[in-house]
Structure 1
Amino acid sequence: MALDGKTAVVTGAARGIGYAYCRRLAADGAHVVAVDIEDPADGVRQLTGTGDKLGLVCDISEPAQVDTVVGTVLDRYGRCDILVNNAGVFPFTDLDHVTIELWRTVQAVNVEAILLFAQAFAPGMRAAGWGRIVNTGSGITLTQNRDLAYLTSKGTVHALTRALANELGESGVTVNAIAPGLVATEGFLGRARTNGPSAEEVIARTTAVQTIKRHSVPADLGNALAFLVSDDADFITGQILHVDGGVTRTGA
Structure 2
Amino acid sequence: MTEATLRTAIVTGAARGIGAAVAERLAADGLAVAVLDLDGDACKPVVARIEGAGGRALAVGADVSDEQAVERAVADVADELGAPTVVVNNAGVLRDNLLFKMSAADWDTVMNVHLRGSFLVSRAAQKYMTDAGWGRIVNLSSDSALGNRGQANYSAAKAGLQGFTKTLAIELGKFGVTVNAVAPGFIATDMTAGTAERVGLTFDELKAYASQNIPVQRVGEPADVAAAVSFFVREDSSFVNGQVLYVAGGPKA
When normalised by structure 1's length, the TM-score is: 0.91
Q: Quote how far apart the aligned CAs of 1:65 are.
A: 1.8
In structure 2, the partner of 1:212 is 216
Percent identical pairs in the alignment equals: 38
More helix by share: 2
In structure 2, the partner of 1:41 is 44
Equivalents in 1 of 2:251, 2:149: separation in Å? 14
Cα deviation code 1:186-222 (max 9, x no counterpart): 1221248655766555433331122211221111111
Equivalent of 1:85 in 86, 89, 95 = 89
Query: What is the letter of the counterpart of residue 18 of structure 2?
Result: I
In structure 2, the partner of 1:18 is 19
Query: More displaced, 130-139 or 61-70?
Result: 61-70
Equivalents in 2 of 1:156, 1:77: separation in Å? 31
Cα deviation code 1:201-244 (max 9, x no counterpart): 54333311222112211111111111110022110011000011
SS at match of 2:108: helix
SS at match of 2:96: coil
CA RMSD of aligned residues (A): 2.1
SS at match of 2:101: coil
In structure 1, the partner of 2:10 is 9
In structure 1, the partner of 2:102 is 98
Q: Quote how far apart the aligned CAs of 1:77 are.
A: 3.4
In structure 2, the partner of 1:203 is 207
SS at match of 2:79: helix
Query: More displaced, 1-10 or 104-113?
Result: 1-10
Query: What is the letter of the counterpart of residue 146 of structure 1?
Result: G
SS at match of 2:93: coil
Equivalents in 2 of 1:16, 1:204: separation in Å? 20
2:65·2:120 contact (CA, 8 Å) conserved in 1?
A: no
Query: More displaced, 210-219 or 82-91?
Result: 210-219
In structure 1, the partner of 2:168 is 164
Equivalents in 2 of 1:130, 1:92: separation in Å? 38
Cα deviation code 1:153-207 (max 9, x no counterpart): 1010111011111110111000000000111101221248655766555433331
Aligned length: 249
Unaligned regions of 5+ residues in structure 1, if any? none
Cα deviation code 1:58-99 (max 9, x no counterpart): 221222221221121122234111100001001212211111
Query: What is the letter of the counterpart of residue 12 of structure 1?
Result: G
In structure 1, the partner of 2:143 is 139
Equivalent of 1:124 in 121, 124, 128 = 128
Equivalent of 1:73 in 67, 70, 77 = 77
- CA distance 1:126–1:25, change in 2 (3 Å): same
Equivalents in 2 of 1:143, 1:130: separation in Å? 34
In structure 2, the partner of 1:178 is 182
Query: What is the letter of the counterpart of residue 15 of structure 1?
Result: R
Equivalents in 2 of 1:60, 1:138: separation in Å? 19
When normalised by structure 2's length, the TM-score is: 0.91
In structure 2, the partner of 1:242 is 246
Cα deviation code 1:118-176 (max 9, x no counterpart): 11111111111110000100011224433111111101011101111111011100000
Equivalent of 1:150 in 149, 154, 165 = 154
Equivalents in 1 of 2:184, 2:245: separation in Å? 8
